[in-house]
Structures are given as C-alpha cells and as structure tokens.
C-alpha cells in the first residue's frame, strides 16, 4: 500500500467510523422514540375507543328512546330491536341486547343465539361472560373486557365492550370492539417507525458515501498537488545541482587553463632554450642530452594538449565566448578528427540562449557523441539544431547498429548517461525522445518557449 492510499484511508476511516457511530446512536434513539410514541399513543387510542363505544351505546339508546311513549309497548320493543339490529359499523361492529336475566333478545351477527339464556355462559378461564356484562350495566354502565367469538374469523378473541341498562324495558344494550384492532394499530405505528428508521439509515449511508467520496477526491487532489510540488522542487534542486556542477567545471577549467597550463608553457620554453644551447655546442654527449631534452619537450607538449582537452571538456571557452553553435561546431570537428567519422552540423542562426539551456544542450550532445564513439559502430553522425518562436528542436542521429532501450534500462548500471541526458532536459521542462533500431539511433529534444526565456 503506497503512501498516497494510506493518507486517503487515514482520512476516510475516521469519517466512516464517526458516521457509523452516529448512525448507531440515531437508530437506538429512533427506536426508543418509537417505543415511547407507542406507549404514549396506545393509551390515548384506547381511551378514544372507550369513549367511542360509550358514544355508540348512547346513540343506540337515544335512537329507541322515542318508542317509550308508544301505546303498544310490545310493538315498540319489537321495533326497537329491529332498529338496533340495523345499527352496525364496520365488519365486526354491532349491538347486542340481553334482558337482565341473561336471555339474548337480539344479535345481528349470531341470530342462533336469540332467545337463548346465556346466564351461565363462561369463557375458557371460567369467567361468567353475561353475568359480568349485566352486573356492569346494573352498576351504571361501563366497559368490560371479555372473550367472544368474532363473526368474521370465527375465532374467540378478546373484546372490549360497553354496556348500559335500558330502564324502561329492563334491557342491557351493549357493543364492543375486538382488541386485536389495538394490536394492529400498535403494529402499524411500529412499522411506520421502522420504515422511518430505515429511511434515515439510507440517508445516512448516502451521506457517508458522498462524504467519503469527497474526502477521497480531496485527498487524492492534495496528494497530487503535493506530488507535483515535490517534483517541481526536485526539478529545481536538480537544476541547481547542474548549475553548481557547471560553475565548478568552469572554475576548474579556468584553473587548468590559467594556472597549470601557463606553468607548463613556461617549463616548455625553458626546455626549448636548453635544447637550443645544447645543439650549438655540438658535442656527442651534449647531443644525447639534447635528444633527451627534445623528448621532454615532446612530453610537455602532450601534457599541454591533454590539459587543454580536459579544460575544454570541463567548460569549453567557445560556449561562453561564441555561443552554442560555435561550441557544437568545434566539438564536432574535434570528434571527426579523432574518430574518423563523417560528421555534419545543420544549425540555424540561433538567438542567444540562456546559459543553463546552452550548457544542457552542449552536455547532451557531448554525452551522445561519447556513446556513439564507444558503442554505435557508426560511420555518419548528423546534428540538427532549429529554433522557432514556439520551441527549439535538437536532433542527434547516427547510422550505427542501435540497441534495445528497455533492456539497457533494466541493467543495474545501464543507461546512466541516457538518464543524465533525460534529466537535464526534463529539468528545463523539455521533452526527450530516443529511438533506436537497425537503421541507427536518434535523439530528439524539444524545449518550449518558456524554457528558452528562463
């Protein structure tokens, strides 16, 4: 795992952990809130249902109250039962009528019970159902929970009823709702809360994904910016190192040319003077000494040439005094004389270039010629230098045997000269392209206008 990915993970991981913790807290608090809401709503709902049942019974009794004044009370009772039988609500909402002795007078959903005395009817727990209803009605009316068969399902279920006494006829009139409706209401509330929690979790996940993506993008952008800044600083440092090297080369070249070379010239003059005097004397011994002196002068001339060559390689004076074209022409001439290769320079009249640019191009050509001399086995070398307002182009081509660029780069110490050339050009912001094959090798260098003004 590279450093860039580690930095991004270091930024994203705490964010995801924080969001996960927030999501857990939100989920717990939302569930607690839903439970509290259920506990708060159910009593209110139950109270509303109780009030609703009482209201239904009051309406039922009011709907038959006008029949109390009828002359024929038997007919009035029959009409009242018919009216109550028609009063229903919902699938399992109906009214029932018993006398105070437990005989069923009207049941719209279970007509088979009409006329039966259910005073002794008991549920599975042994509780007397009708007796409890009558007792509550006699006590002034009220709510009673009991077990009763549900018509729509034919199952015995818990039921909340409200009963009251009809005093004129001595009836117990009641109605009720099955309590599984309350459970369904609780389940609906719980389901709505669960859906809300799930929606909230989905929103948090989306936010977490978006935030992680933004952090990752920002991290990569920061890393990229930092990398570019580091690369720019490295290029600047490499450029400064090259300038320092060239400055040191110039100093050493000046020392060789102005110091060591002048001293060697003085010694050469002394030897030449001694040789002339010895030759005038004509003695054989002196003649032998003259020959030795002559050899010494020859060796001094060799040393002078070597010092001048080293000085020229370190920092050619033509580059500083006459410019890049003249320095390249001098270097090619010396190269052709030394190697016997056919050399050609195609250079336009270039404007004065900045010192670092001219030095970099000169060193690249110098390194390329060294590689050609050692490895290329070429017979022709052509250097082309063209300058345009937008860019400068330098091409070095030979007709040698070429080489495998990738294989050379894979060697432990392979391609150091090529790497040095590439770094010199890329430090200036230029482009370095090398092609090698059976037809020879070519190096193409392009420097943009921004580099030519630096």
- Domains in the chain: boundaries: 9-178, 321-452
Distance from C-alpha of 107 to C-alpha of 88, rounded to nearest angstrom: 11
**Model confidence band, residue 54 (pLDDT cutoffs 50, 70, 90):** very high
261 or 98: which carries more pLDDT confidence? 98
Does pTM surpass 0.95? no
Distance from C-alpha of 294 to C-alpha of 217, rounded to nearest angstrom: 78
Distance from C-alpha of 83 to C-alpha of 77, rounded to nearest angstrom: 10
Take residue 362 and report the two structure tokens written for it.
């000169």
138 or 39: which carries more pLDDT confidence? 138
- pLDDT at residue number 313: 63
303 or 364: which carries more pLDDT confidence? 364
- Is the C-alpha dihedral spanning 102, 105, 106, 112 positive or negative? positive
Take residue 345 and report the two structure tokens written for it.
């320079």
CB of 172 closer than 8 Å to CB of 100: yes
268 or 126: which carries more pLDDT confidence? 126
pLDDT value at 173 more than 70: yes
Provide the percentage of residues in the chain whose pLDDT is more than 70. 80
- pLDDT at residue number 350: 65
- pLDDT at residue number 244: 67
- pLDDT at residue number 221: 75
Take residue 332 and report the two structure tokens written for it.
């090619």
Residues 49, 54, 60, 63, Cα dihedral to 10°: -120
Highest mean pLDDT among 39-48, 256-265, 347-356, 428-437: 428-437
95 or 450: which carries more pLDDT confidence? 95
* pLDDT tens digits along 146-169: 999 988 888 899 999 999 999 999
Assign 71 to helix, strand or coil. Answer: coil
- pLDDT at residue number 133: 95
* pLDDT tens digits along 60-115: 999 999 998 888 999 999 999 999 999 888 788 999 999 999 999 999 999 999 99
Written out in words, the top-level CATH class of the domain with range 321-452 is alpha beta
- pLDDT at residue number 303: 75
**Model confidence band, residue 186 (pLDDT cutoffs 50, 70, 90):** confident
Distance from C-alpha of 5 to C-alpha of 381, rounded to nearest angstrom: 48
- pLDDT at residue number 245: 67
DSSP annotation of 349 reads -
- pLDDT at residue number 40: 76
- Span 9-178 CATH architecture: 2-Layer Sandwich (3.30)
- pLDDT at residue number 409: 60
**Model confidence band, residue 237 (pLDDT cutoffs 50, 70, 90):** low
CA-to-CA dists, residue 342 to 282, 328, 402, angstroms: 48, 15, 17
CB of 230 closer than 8 Å to CB of 22: no
Distance from C-alpha of 34 to C-alpha of 303, rounded to nearest angstrom: 101
Lowest-pLDDT range of 151-155, 271-275, 372-376: 271-275
- pLDDT at residue number 131: 94
Take residue 312 and report the two structure tokens written for it.
């020229």
Distance from C-alpha of 155 to C-alpha of 113, rounded to nearest angstrom: 16
- pLDDT at residue number 416: 66
Take residue 393 and report the two structure tokens written for it.
């182009």
* pLDDT tens digits along 296-345: 777 777 777 777 667 666 666 667 777 888 888 888 998 999 899 999 99
Compute the mean pLDDT over every residue in the chain, rounded to the nearest whole number.
82
pLDDT value at 411 more than 60: no
How many residues in the chain? Answer: 454
pLDDT value at 363 more than 90: no
Q: Any idea which residue has 């959903």 for tokens?
A: 109
Distance from C-alpha of 425 to C-alpha of 360, rounded to nearest angstrom: 7
Distance from C-alpha of 392 to C-alpha of 361, rounded to nearest angstrom: 11
Q: Any idea which residue has 């040191």 for tokens?
A: 248
* pLDDT tens digits along 378-399: 999 999 998 887 888 999 999 9
Mean pLDDT to the nearest integer, 211-240:
72
pLDDT value at 410 more than 60: no
* pLDDT tens digits along 6-48: 666 776 777 778 888 888 888 888 778 878 777 777 788 788 8
394 or 244: which carries more pLDDT confidence? 394
Mean pLDDT to the nearest integer, 113-124:
93
């Amino acid at each position: 795992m590279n450093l860039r990915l580690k930095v991004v993970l270091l930024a994203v991981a705490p964010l995801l952990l924080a969001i996960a913790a927030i999501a857990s807290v939100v989920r717990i608090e939302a569930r607690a809130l839903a439970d509290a809401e259920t506990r708060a709503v159910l009593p209110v709902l139950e109270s509303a249902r109780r009030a609703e049942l009482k209201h239904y019974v009051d309406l039922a009794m009011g709907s038959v109250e006008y029949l109390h004044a009828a002359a024929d009370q038997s007919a009035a009772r029959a009409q009242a039962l018919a009216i109550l039988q028609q009063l229903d609500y919902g699938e399992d909402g109906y009214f029932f009528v018993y006398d105070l002795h437990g005989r069923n007078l009207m049941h719209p959903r279970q007509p088979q019970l009409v006329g039966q005395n259910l005073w002794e009817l008991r549920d599975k727990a042994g509780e007397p159902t009708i007796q409890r209803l009558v007792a509550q009605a006699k006590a002034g009316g009220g709510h009673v929970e009991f077990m009763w068969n549900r018509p729509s399902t034919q199952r015995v279920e818990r039921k909340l009823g409200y009963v009251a006494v009809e005093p004129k006829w001595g009836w117990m009139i009641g109605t009720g709702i099955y309590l599984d409706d309350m459970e369904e209401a609780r389940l609906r509330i719980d389901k709505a809360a669960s859906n809300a929690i799930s929606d909230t979790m989905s929103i948090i996940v989306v936010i977490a994904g978006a935030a992680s993506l933004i952090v990752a993008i920002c991290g990569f952008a920061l890393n990229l910016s930092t990398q570019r800044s580091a690369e720019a600083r490295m290029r600047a440092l490499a450029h400064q190192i090259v300038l320092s090297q060239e400055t040191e080369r110039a100093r050493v070249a000046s020392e060789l040319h102005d110091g060591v070379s002048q001293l060697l010239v003085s010694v050469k003059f002394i030897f030449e003077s001694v040789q002339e005097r010895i030759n005038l004397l004509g003695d054989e011994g002196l003649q032998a000494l003259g020959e030795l002196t002559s050899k010494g002068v020859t060796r001094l001339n060799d040393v002078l040439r070597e010092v001048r060559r080293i000085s020229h390689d370190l920092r050619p004076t033509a580059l500083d005094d006459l410019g890049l074209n003249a320095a390249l022409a001098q270097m090619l001439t010396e190269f052709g004389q030394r190697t016997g290769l056919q050399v050609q320079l195609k250079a336009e009249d270039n404007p004065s270039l900045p010192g670092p640019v001219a030095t970099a191009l000169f060193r690249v050509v110098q390194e390329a010629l060294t590689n050609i001399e050692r490895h290329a086995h070429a017979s022709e070398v052509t250097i082309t230098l063209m300058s345009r307002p937008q860019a400068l182009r330098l091409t070095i081509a030979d007709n040698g045997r070429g080489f495998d660029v990738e294989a050379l780069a894979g060697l432990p110490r392979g391609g150091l000269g090529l790497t040095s050339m590439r770094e010199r050009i890329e430090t200036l912001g230029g482009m370095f392209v090398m092609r090698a094959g059976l037809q020879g090798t070519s190096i193409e260098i392009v420097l943009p206008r921004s580099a030519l003004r630096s």
